[in-house]
Every structure is written in C-alpha cells, then in structure tokens.
Structure 1
Amino acid sequence: MKKYDKRYSKNYVAKLIAVLKMLFQYAVDHGYLIKNPAEKLKKQEEKNTVTTFWTEEEMNKFLKVAKEYAYYPAFLLALSCGCRKGEILGMTWDAIDFDNCIVNIKQILTNDGKKLENKAKNQQSIRSIKIPSNVIEELRVFKQEFDEKKRTLKGNFAKYNLVVSSKNGAPVSPRNISRTMDIIIKKPGVPRITFHSLRHTHATLLMQKGVNMKVVSERLGHSDIRTTMNRYTHVAPTLQEEAAEIIGSLIK
C-alpha cells in the first residue's frame, strides 16, 4: 500500500487494512464478491531500529530557523529532553522546576489532540528529566510571556496552563506541530524527518558523545534498557571506535 509513502502511522494503516478486510468479507459473505481482494494485505512489519535523525549541525540549523515560530518550545524540548510529542503538548508550566532545571512528565495530550490525560505511555514514562541550563533560560523567557497572556487574557491560558498552546491558550493539534515542522525544515535545507525523530536525534547525539545508555534510556522513558539498545544499534560502531581508542591510550 502506498499509504506508507505518505508518512501515515503504522497504526493508522493497520486499522485501515482491518476495515478493508472486514468490508470486503461482508461483500463475499453476502454474495456481492467471489473473493476478498484485501485478504492478503498485511500491515507493515515493525522496524525498531532508528534510521532517521539529524547530526549536531543539522539540529542547530533547524533550531535557528525554528526560533521564529510559535511552536519553537516544542521542538526545543524534543531535542533537548527527548520527550514524546504527546508529553510536550500536554506539559504544563508547573511541571517545570526552574530552580532545579527539571521537567516532570506526568500529563499527555492524546494523539487526536482532544484530551489531556494524567498518565504516560508506561510506568517508566512518568519521569523527571534534567533540562540543560541554557534551555531553562530560554524557557524562562517563554514563561514570562505566557504569564502576561494569562494575566491579561485569562481564558484558556489560565485553564490549561500549557507550555505549548494554540493562539487562544488551548491544546495544540499534534498535526499542526508536524505541519509547522515540515515548513521550517525546508528553509535551512536539512533532511526531512518526523517530529518523533527529534527524540531519536536527542538519544543518538547523547550516545555519540559517550553518555551511558542507561541514562539515555531513563531520559526517553523506555520501559526496558533493551529497547534502547535494540533501537539505537547504529551508534554502536562509533562507540566501539571510541572504546578502542580509550583502551589503547591506557596501554603503555
């Protein structure tokens, strides 16, 4: 199916296949068709290995342009903290501890953008992530701007208290974030990746810099470190080279 080429989620396509099979089977059962034409359709196999991410240079080129857009904090948090899209769009200002440079992941926005839920993907996803000090300073500025809107406009700004919100303070549609990202990507000419791949970029760059995989796994909120190990196998050759150089320097 060519739906995969249009960047539809695997889950969406799997549901579409299931509906097609059910509809055509109904036609077969009631004598409208001889054979179910969707019988052999299969959902795309899951490929857990990460293949799309940016280099450090590409990441910074993107962020430089993204600063001019309202959803910049979403991209900044994804790249600096490795948060999922739903975690960022459900994040409230009181979840950020500015004194200790920590964000507490405890609420998400559902994929359809219609509901805020006090939960996460799994138990490990309910976590605290250390935020870089330079990112905290940027967030302070956005918080000041938000507080002014909350004071003067009230409404949804006071009701939801979201770090990333629409113009009227309500939750942002996840699709709007992706559309904006696609627009931004074209300007610096960096490779086109999905919003979720910003998270992959975060993890890949950390591991390439030698950060312990257990720490990366905790930042991502993976339920098992083996998930992290299996997903980021592309980093292994680089780490092997670094390991060889380190041990070589110790041998006199």
Structure 2
Amino acid sequence: MSRRGENIYKRKDGRWEGRYIKGRKLNGSIHYGYVYGKRYYDVKQKLTLIKSQLPYYQEQTIYSYSGTVQEWVVYWLENFVLPTVKLSTYVSYKSKLSVHVLPILGEIKLTELKKEEVQSLCDQLEEKLSDSSVHAVFRVFHTCLCVAQEKELIAKNPADTLRLPKMGKRSSKALSTGEQKRLKQVANGTANGLAVLIALETGMRIGEISGLKWSDIDWERREVHVQRTLQRLTDNNGKSQIVEGLPKTVSSTRVIPLSKRLYHLLWQQKNASEDAYILSNTEKSVEPRVVRYQFKQMSKAAGLSDVTFHTLRHTFATRCLEAGVNIATISALLGHRSIKMTLDVYTHSLLSQEREAIDQVSAF
C-alpha cells in the first residue's frame, strides 16, 4: 500500500483505507478499526468524525487518561512519527520500542510509569546491548514520552535524567593497504565486484550504491550524483519489501567526483538505458542484502575477517586522510551532517597522522 500520512493508505484495489484505534482486546492487544473510501479526503473525513466520537482520541489530561504505555506508544508512532518522517525511520523507531521497551513496560498505565521502572529497564538492556544501542533505544522512548508530557497526559517525563552507560568514542575499522589490494583483486575478477570497487573509491553507503542508476552519472563532469537509497523494510503486516527513498540525511544528497579508474570502469559497462540500475544493468535493482552476501564471499576469498560492507566506507575515508585531504572535504564526500561527526569517527586516524608529522619534523 502507498502511504499518505495520518494512517491512511491506498490499497491495491484503488480504494483508500484509514486505520484508527478502537480500544484494547481482552488479551491486551490494540484493537484497530478501519474505514474505506474511493478518495483520500473521503477517508480522512470519516476518520476525523470517528476519532471525535471515541474516548481514546478525545482531549485527555493526566487526570483522565487511562491508557497503557503500549497504547500511547502505538498512538505516537502512528500519528506523530509516521506522517512526518521517512518510512525507514518509522520502522526503526517501531522496532526499538516493540523489541526492547514494550515487553517490559507496555502493560503499565502511562500515568503510573515511574522513573525507577524506566531506569531498571535501562540497566537490563545495558547487560545485553552495546552502549550505543541503549542510547538509541532511550532517545526514541524519551521523545515519545516528551510528546505525552506536552499533551499533558503525564506530569513529568520518567525518562528524564536516566543513568545511561557512558559512550566511548566511535571507532572505525578500515582495511590496511595490503588488505585493500587483495580485496580489489578479488572484486576485479568477479562479475559482482562493482559494488565493492565503487565503495572503495567513493565512500558511498551500501543502499546508495544499490540505488545508483546510469542517469546519476555526469559523464562530462566525471562525477556521480547521490540522490536515492534502497532499503528492505517491514510493513505493518510483517511483510518486507524494497523501498526506494532519499539518502539518509539532507547532506547525504551529494555529488562525488569519479576517479579516472572508476570512470573508465563504469564507461565500459554503461547501459543505453538511463533508467537501468548500475549494479544490475537492468531496471531491476540489486538489493543491499544481496550486495552484503556477495561482499561476504569476496572478503572471505581475500582472506579478510571481521569486516562488513561499511568497512569499505571507513577505508575510503582513511585513505583520504592518509593522502592529506582536509577533514571538511572528507565530511562532504561522506555526506556527514557536520565536520564534528567526521572528527568523532576518525579521531584515531588523525592522531596517527599527527604523530607521523611530529616524527618528520623532529628529523630535521
């Protein structure tokens, strides 16, 4: 189904479908109701009328709201998150809360949720998740509860001032020059190696590479325009599908110069159809999980271990640093939101360069 916000979808039969929360079933799960219409605006009007008559959607305060944490999370996701963010972001938020928060806190009444209970969940997650994952889960949950506080459903946010695990500096694994040469030799010798070669020479993300079309190449200026990404996402019915969307952030929509080597490699494989995807040379894409599988086979053949496709992005950035490219340029090439983000990730590489510079100076 195609989405148009406010829990309204266009069905395969051409009709529009609207979903709303009727209440809870005996087993505690959310009970949804549905309305249908030939036009989007007809369904929107029906939903507005129904919601105005249901207690769940009427203006409530801390004194009258009786819903559970699960009911509020579902309502927040469907009505505040889904209409305003990329589908991939919505799926990510939903997954974090459904997997890590709701099984423990979901049945508690929202107005009775205590800070001690939220802190206890945090402590439990710290034992089985990485520090960054714990922070990611509670960023989403805190935002969810902030909206509940703004709507005066709770007096205070019980996720405020939690004792979260300390975050260390993000480390980035990169291939050595020797490892990179071995991998490139393998990639050059296989029909599926193009994605690896593009990643090593541009630093593009796997979804961005999967989404590349021949129309994205400016042959005269010798550059590639990054303007879409492919992801496999799970819909509300539990079915996964490939979704084409915009890159990760606004700064991720960018232009990257092509090296002469990569330019000629692409030119040799160019398809006459501008709408064809570069990796498949057809109008059917090669999805990221297939690219990951192919990379796994190539990295194994190259004798590499403990590497992911994202390692190639770090390798590109590291080679840029070693070549003396300034950090602002590297940040722009990677599509980072800020130079600070790039510095946080590649501080270790920069320190290594500084040590080498000091050694060179001391030689005089």
The TM-score by the shorter chain falls in which range? 0.7 to 0.9
Shift in CA distance, 132/183, structure 1 to aligned 2, threshold 3 Å: same
How does 1:129-140 map onto structure 2 within 5 Å? 129-140=256-267
AA aligned opposite 1:125: S
CA-CA distance at 1:15 after TM superposition: 3.1
1:225 alignment partner in structure 2: 339
1:247 Cα offset (Å)? 4.5
Matched, 1:41 2:125: yes
Q: Is the 8 A contact 2:251 2:337 kept in 1?
A: yes
Matches within 5 A, 1:49-198: 49-112=170-233, 114-117=242-245, 119-143=246-270, 146-147=271-272, 160-165=275-280, 169-198=283-312
Q: Which runs of 5+ in 2 are unaligned?
A: 1-90, 110-116, 133-167, 234-240
Quick one: percent identity of the two aligned structures? 26
Displacement of 1:56: 1.5
Matched pairs, number: 220
Q: CA deviation at 1:132?
A: 0.7
Is 1:22 matched with 2:22?
Answer: no
Seen in structure 2, the aligned counterparts of structure 1 residues 50 and 24 have a Cα distance that, compared at 3 Å, is: closer
Q: How many Å apart are 1:202 and its aligned residue? A: 0.3
Structure 2 counterpart of 1:94, one-letter code: S
Structure 1 counterpart of 2:207, which letter?
G
Higher relative contact order (CA 8 A, sep 6+): 1
Q: Residue 109 of structure 1 aligns to a residue in which SS?
A: strand
Amino acid at match of 1:99: E
Separation of aligned partners in 2, 1:13 and 1:191: 31
Instruction: Give the C-alpha shift of residue 25 in structure 1.
Output: 5.0
Preserved contact between residue 75 and residue 198 of structure 1 (Cα < 8 Å): yes
Amino acid at match of 2:179: E
State the TM-score, normalizing by the size of structure 1.
0.75
Which structure has the bigger radius of gyration? 2
Q: Is the 8 A contact 1:208 1:238 kept in 2?
A: no
Letter in 1 for 2:266: L
The alignment partner of 2:125 has SS state of coil
Distance in 1 (CA, whole Å) between partners of 2:287 and 2:226 is 19
Instruction: Give distance in 2, aligned partners of 1:212 and 1:125.
Output: 18
Deviation at residue 238 of structure 1 after TM alignment:
2.2
Deviation per CA, 1:89-139: give whole Å up to 9, x if none: 11111111122221111111124461222x221121111111111111111
Q: Give the 3 Å change call, closer, same or farther, for CA 111–222 of structure 1 in structure 2.
A: farther
Distance change in 2, residues 1:27/1:210 (3 Å)? same
2:172 and 2:345 in contact (8 A); partners too:
no
Sort the Cα spacing of 1:133 and 1:48 in 2 relative to 1 into closer, same or farther, 3 A: farther
Match of 2:322 among 198, 203, 208: 208
Equivalent pair of 1:89/1:165 in contact (CA under 8 Å): no
Q: In structure 2, what residue type is equivalent to 1:191?
A: S
Contact 2:227 2:247 survives alignment (8 Å): yes
Cα deviation code 1:50-75 (max 9, x no counterpart): 33210122112111111233332211
In 2: Cα distance, 1:127 partner to 1:169 partner: 23
Q: TM-score, normalised by structure 2?
A: 0.54
- What's the secondary structure of 2:256's corresponding residue? strand
The unaligned stretches of length 5 or more in structure 1 are 1-10, 30-34, 151-157
Residues 186-240 of structure 1: per-residue CA shift (max 9 Å, x gap): 1121233111111001001110222111111111011100111110112123211
With over 3 angstroms needed to count, the CA separation of the structure-2 counterparts of 1:136 and 1:48, relative to structure 1, is: farther
CA deviations over 1:24-67 (Å, ceiling 9, x no partner): 556899xxxxx9xx942244222662332101221121111112
- Partners of 2:242 and 2:333 lie apart in 1 by 26
Higher helix residue share: 1
Change beyond 3 A, Cα 1:191–1:26: closer
Structure 1 CA distance, aligned partners of 2:260 and 2:300? 29
1:44 partner letter: S
Deviations 1:139-198, CA, capped at 9 Å, x for gaps: 11111xx33xx5xxxxxxx7x4111138x6412221111111111111121233111111
Tell me the amino acid that sits aligned with residue 128 of structure 1.
V
